[in-house]
A and B are shown apart, each in its own frame.
Chain A
Amino acid sequence: MHIVVCMKQVPDSAQIRVHPVTNTIMRQGVPTIINPYDLFALEEALRLRDRLGGEVTVLTMGPPMAEESLRKALTFGADRAVLLTDRAFAGSDTLATSFALAAALNKISQEFGEPPIVFTGKQTIDGDTAQVGPGIAKRLGLNQLTYVARIADLDPAAGTITVERRAEGGLQVLQTRLPVLITMLEGVNEIRRGSLDDAYRAARAQVVRWSAADAGITELARCGLKGSPTIVKKVFAPQGRAEKVRQVPTADRSADELAIDVIAAIFRTQPPLEDDLLRFAAGQ
């Protein structure tokens, strides 16, 4: 079975700093990583391949340097990597991103065989929209399974799949027909350590590199900034609170004395809270 995993290279946002004076992002030297949520999708895909045979293709749209994260995915054991890269994609919002990825997926189908399952992560840590997956599904007419916690059953011959999907207040057990798009929930597996063989293979592997034209995209107006209905009007830093913190004095107080001071300070700040708590205590 052929499985495609969409992954994005993202800046390690834990290491992004905002310039204290100009309030602009200091991007220089920020290392990039594979979007952490996408690793759960990749691991799930690799497990299915190990169990059922077939191939895993990883697909990224991004600048040329995104090849790095594709190579990383090959070291984990992916079989093929496709980089969709073109100036025309710069400034894509989620709609333009899912348009371009859908086109690349069509091309992947033609070149390497139609994938019954396309995976994405739950969301990216730089975009955070969780929309690219549903966008791809809708464009390609794939049945959409988001927030999947577990693949309970997969029958490629019958063309059916059953999954447990995280919903409000519980898990929905859903059965649908292949082909599907799955967005994988976080924390449901752990990415493997690649084997030495995979590392060798990854070092020598050729990453497939497609431009917009290579992926068969003729409508450039639907890509990048042009194809994005949303525009960023402004970017700004969150405002500090005007009111200053009130420190509870701690000098020469034991923990127990301090606790009494803290409680008094809380009730002084918000008197109704004391009544709420007494009512709760009385109800016990």
Chain B
Amino acid sequence: MSDAPPNAPKPPAAGRAGTKRELPERFKAYRHVWVAIECEHGVVHPVSLELLGEGRKLADKRGVDLAGVVLAGDSLTAAQTAAAAFEHGADLVYTVTAPILAHYRNETYTRAMTDLVNAHQPEILLLGATNLGRDLAGSVATTLQTGLTADCTELAIDDEGSLAATRPTFGGSLLCTILTLNYRPQMATVRPRVMAMPAREPGRWGRIVEHPLDLSEEDVVTKVLRFIADRESDKAQLAYADIVVAGGLGLRSAENFQLVRALAEVLGGDYGGSRPLVQKGWITADRQIGQTGKTIRPKLYIAAGISGAIQHRVGVEGADTIVAINTDPNAPIFDFAHLGVVADAIELLPALTRAFQAHLSVNRLAG
């Protein structure tokens, strides 16, 4: 085992890192805001577009360009991904196109990304906090020996022009704002659905800068043997559902949880639950909503028998309308719900299912 990752910068001079605002000379040329555009199996991950929306604001505040970074296996994928980036606010797009980038691998992507950063020197680099983004961000930050703030809920530029990245801490009970003072780029990851999707501007276009990758398949140790796609029915579309119905321990049994699914189905929505339900095995882990589960941003969120702990709250606050059903009028969920119903969810859920069904069919006949 050795301690010299390729692409590493020279070790910084000894001193109290982070306590001085003065940026070392070698970082002074670092400019512009970059967003990694994640594309797997031909699909651009929506979190990357959400980040472009946020990146646009940061770039405008700094008076710099917003660039998308596209790593792709072929030029068609690269072009399509770049187009999506332009339509969602990028001024320019850096592309690295090589067959060995067709599937995500840590080694190849880290190399392509660190090459790009060293060549074009961004001041801020944002990635989605997906499995891919987290895997990549950790390696890139270590290779470049810069700071990385994970799972941010808010990004801003402070008075002195630094990226102020805010994230939950202490199990979500508090928030903290983190700065990367004298290293560049300042890196952050953000989970899907935490930031709003920017409006798409069809036909918007910009400059593409192609960068070579000096790496061939023989140099890469890790091989992708296969990809086992999740069954369609297993793919919880929870994070992107317009309507979500969720249950908590107040439902008292796995059987009663079916009442949540029934209501979700009538509404054409998706369903989920609080973390204890995963621990009890009533729902699978990909249905968990909250800080250590999914962040959702539906138009309508109905929470039945959920107390509204802070770890749950941070995952649902982006919903347009939150309806809470809870027997306890003092439950914390009523601190952030829009509509509250102090009632027994086990009775109200089936009543809601019936009433929605009736409402929708009557109005359809009338219409």
Contacts and interface: CB of A to CB of B under 8 A. Distances in A.
Interface in A250-272: 250, 255-256, 258-260, 262-263, 265-266, 269-270
B267 interface: yes
Contacts of A86: none
B238 interface: no
B151 A128 contact: yes
Contact of A262 (B19, B40, B339): B339
Contacts, number: 316
B122 to A, nearest CB: 16
Contact of A231 (B4, B110, B181): B181
Interface stretch (A60-68, A77-85, A199-207, A240-248): A240-248
Contacts of A256: 351, 354-355
B104 interface: yes
A142 interface: yes
Nearest to A134: B138
A36 to B, nearest CB: 10
Contacts of A14: 171
A242 to B, nearest CB: 11
A120 B27 CA distance: 32
Given A125-B171, A134-B139, A102 B106 contact: no
Interface in B1-50: 1-5, 11, 14-19, 38, 40-41, 45
A229 to B, nearest CB: 4
Interface in A106-161: 106, 109, 114, 125-126, 128-135, 137-147
B197 interface: no
B157 interface: no
> B-side binding surface: helix, strand, loop or mixed?
mixed
Nearest to A162: B225
A168 B45 contact: yes
B18 A231 contact: yes
B335 A240 contact: yes
A235 B339 contact: no
A94 B148 contact: yes
A29 interface: no
B258 interface: no
A195 interface: no
B352 A230 contact: no
B134 A146 contact: yes
Interface in B302-331: 310, 313-314, 320-321, 323-324
Contact of A280 (B139, B168, B268, B320): B268
B362 to A, nearest CB: 10
Interface stretch (B67-75, B172-180, B202-210, B244-252): B172-180
A212 to B, nearest CB: 15
B222 A143 contact: yes
A225 interface: yes
B364 to A, nearest CB: 5
Contacts of A233: 158, 164, 176-179
Contact of B40 (A167, A229, A258): A167
A227 B15 CA distance: 9
Contacts of B223: 174-176
14 contacts: A13-B171, A95-B141, A106-B3, A130-B138, A134-B106, A138-B5, A138-B143, A169-B41, A222-B11, A230-B148, A231-B178, A256-B355, A281-B363, A284-B268
Interface of A: 11, 13-14, 16-18, 23, 25, 93-95, 98, 102-103, 105-106, 109, 114, 125-126, 128-135, 137-147, 162, 164-177, 179, 186-187, 219, 221-222, 225-238, 240-241, 243, 245-248, 250, 255-256, 258-260, 262-263, 265-266, 269-270, 273, 276-278, 280-282, 284
Interface of B: 1-5, 11, 14-19, 38, 40-41, 45, 103-107, 110, 130-132, 134-135, 137-139, 141-143, 145-151, 158, 164, 168-183, 221-230, 235, 242, 267-268, 285, 292, 299-300, 310, 313-314, 320-321, 323-324, 334-344, 347-348, 350-352, 354-356, 359-361, 363-364, 367
